[in-house]
Amino acid sequence: MSVHVEQRGITVSTLKQMRQRGEKIACLTAYDASFAAVLDKAGIDVILIGDSLGMVIQGHETTVPVTIDDMIYHARAVARGSRRALRIVDMPFMSYSNPSQTIANAARLMQEGGAQVVKLEGGETQAEIVRHLAAQGVPVCAHLGLQPQSIHKLGGYRVQGRDEASARMMLDVASAVQTAGAEMLLLECVPAVLAAEITSKVNIPVIGIGAGAACDGQILVLHDILGVSVDRVPRFSRNFLHGANDIQDAVSKYVRAVKDRTFPAAEHSF
């Protein structure tokens, strides 16, 4: 398979072009400069500085305790180590509950943390927040499906969109946030059939995690693909360090697997 390699820094426009030509987008999380540099060299397209750091770095049981200052600290570190990959930074729990707060915190993530895109979780109520950010020139990735910041409300880490009503609602929300100005979607723990339908009905890049192979790209938590998770590795992930020469080789194997469509396989989907 011939893969177009972007030598300069990847942008949102680059990802849209990749979607148009059918090239899969390889994404991973990172939280510091050293790993960011490894991911860059291995050809990762997108680095997510995720609030998952609350669990894999800070040792919390959920992402809820993560603060905006935590996100800025880690985003700034990743920005020092990354040159090529597009950097997306999570807006943590309760940092985007109203338009003025959202714009102020997004500005901090971009100005202090070096974010190039901000990501926020939510349903239909978040479309207005996306609209406000987009109006200020802030690129937004909307996160649908399983939303870890709402874990106490959801009652656990469960696949979302299994029944017809919730699937229809997710399709409607995907359309709404796109109309509001979202540049990207991230679908987490969504049935593969539903994720494929959403991907086909929107015209912005869709990144999946536990959402099947039809998404435009895939993302996993770096620690999971290296087999160093505190808890068990999620079903939708895979240990790419097994059989690799070193960490960079493991990341390169992940990139190749996403690009040549051998990951995710059926066993990594719902």
The DSSP string of the chain is -------S---HHHHHHHHHHTPPEEEEE--SHHHHHHHHHHT-SEEEE-TTHHHHTT--SSSTT--HHHHHHHHHHHHHH-SSSEEEEE--TTSSSSHHHHHHHHHHHHHTT--SEEEEE-SGGGHHHHHHHHHTT--EEEEEES-GGGHHHHTSS-----SHHHHHHHHHHHHHHHHHT-SEEEEES--HHHHHHHHHH-SS-EEEESS-S-SSEEEE-HHHHTT--SSPPPTT---SSTT-SSHHHHHHHHHHHHHTT-SS-GGG--
Exactly one of 183, 188, 197, 267 is catalytic; which is it? 188
- Identify whether 188 is a catalytic site residue: yes
- The residues assigned a catalytic role are 188
